[in-house]
Each structure stands twice: as C-alpha cells, then as structure tokens.
C-alpha cells in the first residue's frame, strides 16, 4: 500500500458518501412523509450539485478514516433513506451502533457489509409497522452495497495511515511519528506550564546478538523490548523505535525524577531475566538509558541533544544503567546513573 492508494481510497469514500447523501436528501422513498413534503424537500435540494454535497460530506470524513467511526454514519444514512424504524450494526459479533426502535425482530433486513476476513460487519434494518415496500428493499440493497465499498475504502485508508506512523517490526510508532508527537507535546507543555520528559534507550552490544544468534534472533529481541516498554508506560505516553536498536519514550506530565525512576524500572525488568528464543536458546539482554526534562524555552532538538548526551554517558560508564541530564544526584537512594555495570 502507498499514499496514492490512500488518496484514491479517500476520494472513493467521499464520492460514495456523497452519493449516499444525495440519495437521502433527494429520495422520496421512506414511506412516512406525505408527497407534498417530499416535493418541498426535492425543490430545496434541486440547487445542490455534487461539489456542494462533497463539501458537506467532507466535513464528516475526518471521522471516516476509522472504520468504526464510519459505521454509525452508514447506519444513520440507510435507516433514514429506507424509512426503517431502527437499525443496528455489528462488527466481529459485537454491536457498535444502533438507532431507533430495535425491539421487534419481525421483518428485519440483514446485509453483510464485510466478510469475516474484513471484520464480519453486518447491518440490520427494522421495518416500520407496514413493513418494507419492494422499492424500499431495492434501495436498501443498493445503499448497503455502496456502504460496503465505503467501509472497505475506510479500512484501506486506516491501514495505510497506520503503516505510515508505525514501525513494522515492533508495532511502536516510527521515527517520524515520534518526532511529530514530540513537537506537539512540547507545545502543550509550554502552554500549560507542565513538565515533559524524554527517555532514550539503546540495547547494549546488540551487534553481538545478531552476530552470534542471527538477525531473526535480533528481531525477537527488538520485539520483546517493545512489548516490555508497552507494559511499563501509561496511555498518555508515547513509545517509539527511532531506528536499529534505539528506542524512545515521551512522558507528558512527568518530571526528571519520575522519568528516571520509570527508566530504572524498565532497565531492571529487562536485565532481571533471560530471553528464550524460538530456537530454544537463551540470552541475556541489557539496555542503557538517557533521561532529560524539557527546560523553559528549549527546543525539541535541544531536548534530544541533552537526552542523547545522557545516553552516551550511560554507555561510557559501563552500559546497563540510567543517566539523567543535568548530570547531578537525584537524592538519597536514587539508583539513576549507578547501574550494574
């Protein structure tokens, strides 16, 4: 997949939703509006062209990049257009959206918008008391087919977006996305006057792992360390792989002492046991950590430079340790900078 496909998917989704929008706004099918009301609606919409409809729909497209955000839109459009008294959408067996009255199961129309491989999405429409007319059924089938296309395109766009910001091997955010998050959090920290800290981590002597056990084993180590990072961070934190064996943690609302203590817990957890490879071999892995807190007026580059300096010191002092910058004691009992080297 590439950005050309993403652009095509987004455009196709826009056109599809525009068609759905025009159908709902201009169609007299619905069964519960008198003819004169439908005529007034038709006259009001006669001046609208496709570009205007696209503009209206475009305002909602920010929510359609995520397939789960698109599903309620699909449900609302089709329910209104067909005159159904209610509707529900299920994805992978779980209900994700509903509208109107869905208590009576009689006469329900069911449409599969995606097969099991694409999430198993199913749409249910509940008829009014008089049931669905043949015309309404035909419209529902056509809208469901268009909705399936829109949903597939949204999933495609969502997948491409995720690939663009995610490190393929570890599932952490990639270098570009991490630096975007860094700039955003620095701006927020300045505006609110809140602390922000950065942790850089580098696996020790990682080349020896690749040389001795092979690159597949090295990949296992990288993935295991990424999982370890996920287990040690909060939802608001950002964990990323910057490249090779270098990782980073962005810690909003965290001062230098808190960030250093968190890095120390991560260091201990990694070095406290051995990793069993899929080949059955065991190896011990350690990492060095550099920590720095954002200072008033400091840029992202300056924060990174200070953090990188602390990481360099950790390597120079024997690896398998945490060093915080500015390089000063953090108080009695602090283990930062005193690893097991």
Torsion of CA 326, 331, 336, 341, to 10 degrees: 110
pLDDT at site 74: 80
What pLDDT does 81 receive? 80
Assign 207 to helix, strand or coil: helix
Res 152: pLDDT: 79
**What is the rounded distance in angstroms from the CA atom of residue 264 to the CA atom of residue 321?**
8
Task: Tell me what pLDDT residue 248 has.
Answer: 97
Among 152, 245, 264, 325, the one annotated catalytic:
245
Q: List the chain residues with pLDDT less than 70.
A: 1-65, 116-119, 157-164, 327-341
Q: Beta strand 196-203 with 238-243: parallel, antiparallel or unpaired?
A: unpaired
Please report the domains of the chain, with CATH numbers, ordered by start residue.
3-163 (3.30.450), 175-325 (3.30.70.270)
Sign of torsion over alpha carbons 166, 154, 80, 53 = positive
- pLDDT computed for residue 92 by the predictor: 85
Residue 160 burial (CB count, 10 A): 19
Reply yes or no on whether 246 is catalytic: no
**If you write DSSP's letter for every residue of 55-111 in order, what string do you get?**
HHHHTTHHHHTSHHHHHHHHHHHHHHHHT-SEEEEEETTEEEEEEE-----TT-EEE
Helix 67-82 vs helix 3-26: crossing angle, to nearest 10: 20
Question: 255 with 160: CB under 8 angstroms?
Answer: no
- Tell me how far apart the alpha carbons of residues 320 and 341 are, in angstroms, rounded to a whole number: 6
Residue 188: φ, ψ to 5°: -65, -40
122 strand-pairing partners: 90, 112
CB atoms within 10 A of CB 132: 21
- Provide the strand spans (E) within the chain: 86-91, 94-100, 109-112, 121-126, 196-203, 238-243, 246-252, 274-276, 282-284, 287-293, 322-325
């Amino acid at each position: 997949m590439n950005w050309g496909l993403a652009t095509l998917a987004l455009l196709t989704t826009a056109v599809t939703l525009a068609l759905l929008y025009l159908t709902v706004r201009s169609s007299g099918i619905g069964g519960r509006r008198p003819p004169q009301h439908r005529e007034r609606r038709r006259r009001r919409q006669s001046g609208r062209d496709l570009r205007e409809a696209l503009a209206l729909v475009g305002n909602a497209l920010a929510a359609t990049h995520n397939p789960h955000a698109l599903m309620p839109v699909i449900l609302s459009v089709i329910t209104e257009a067909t005159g159904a008294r209610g509707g529900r959408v299920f994805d992978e067996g779980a209900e994700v959206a509903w509208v109107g009255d869905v208590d009576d199961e009689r006469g329900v129309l069911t449409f599969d918008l995606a097969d099991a491989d694409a999430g198993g999405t199913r749409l249910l429409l509940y008829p009014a008391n008089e049931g669905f007319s043949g015309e309404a059924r035909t419209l529902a089938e056509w809208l469901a087919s268009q909705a399936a296309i829109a949903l597939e395109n949204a999933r495609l766009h969502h997948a491409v977006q995720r690939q663009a910001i995610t490190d393929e091997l570890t599932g952490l955010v990639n270098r570009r996305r991490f630096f975007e998050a860094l700039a955003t959090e620095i701006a927020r920290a300045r505006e609110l006057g809140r602390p922000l800290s950065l942790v850089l981590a580098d696996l020790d002597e990682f080349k020896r792992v690749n040389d001795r056990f092979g690159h597949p084993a090295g990949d296992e180590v990288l993935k295991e360390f990424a999982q370890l990072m996920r287990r040690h961070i909060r939802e608001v934190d950002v964990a990323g792989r910057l490249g090779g064996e270098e990782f980073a943690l962005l810690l909003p609302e965290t001062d230098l002492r808190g960030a250093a203590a968190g890095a120390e817990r991560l260091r201990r957890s990694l070095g406290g046991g051995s990793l069993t490879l899929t080949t059955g071999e065991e190896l011990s892995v350690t990492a060095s950590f550099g920590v720095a807190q954002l200072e008033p007026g400091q840029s992202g580059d300056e924060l990174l430079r200070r953090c990188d300096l602390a990481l360099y010191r950790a390597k120079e002092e024997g690896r398998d340790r945490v060093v915080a910058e500015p390089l000063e004691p953090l108080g009695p009992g602090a283990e930062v900078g005193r690893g097991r080297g």
